[in-house]
Structure 1
């Protein structure tokens, strides 16, 4: 009987040791190409432009100019990702561009130029 107890104890110890050495799943593995904040801001700004067109607050010319600015930000984001890592400096530059684009959207939506709402 002692032998069965000894074998069971060894099996539990070995199993516990193997479990303890198993690598833990990464909590939040950081992808060097991930740009979730930039992506979300782009989506929000595009919605703001679309809403401005729908409400008539933006003329077609203003909307085209703002869309070109958003396209430039997307192009810069892809260029930043091209080397396999988006650095802090690249993120800072993209954030600055988005800040300026956001201010431009606000300015254009609240100026005196409007179109008739559809």
Structure 2
């Protein structure tokens, strides 16, 4: 009976550790993830309202995908360094400016 309790305790610790690690990795870049979601919504809204042409929206989405790949690459080793985070945030800010400019350039769908 005691062996089962010990094995159960070890198993619980392993499962808990794995779930914590997964949680930590998913929460490593919450600000970056939220910015990606907001920018995708801005692109979709611009396309729906006619502020963005289909071509403009497609190009902006490609830029968003590039940032997402940067994020995935940064997370490959399980940790996002300050330098990687800064590089990703810089790319996001650049994309934000692109979205704004394209939405306000007066082009009609």
Equivalent positions of 1:22-61 (< 5 A) are 31=24, 34-61=28-55
Contact 1:59 1:113 in 2 (8 A): yes
* Structure-1 separation of matches of 2:25 and 2:98: 29
Contact 1:32 1:86 in 2 (8 A): no
Structure 2 length normalisation: TM-score?
0.76
Structure 1 length normalisation: TM-score?
0.70
Number of aligned positions between the proteins? 87
The RMSD of aligned alpha carbons is: 1.6
Q: Identify unmatched segments of 5+ residues in structure 1.
A: 1-29
Deviations 1:34-53 (A, max 9, x none): 11000000000000000000
Q: Identify unmatched segments of 5+ residues in structure 2.
A: 1-22
Give 2:66's match in structure 1, choosing from 72, 96, 118: 72
* Structure-2 separation of matches of 1:54 and 1:112: 15
* Structure-2 separation of matches of 1:90 and 1:80: 6
- The structural deviation recorded for 1:31 is 2.8
The structure with more radius of gyration: 1
Contact 1:56 1:114 in 2 (8 A): yes
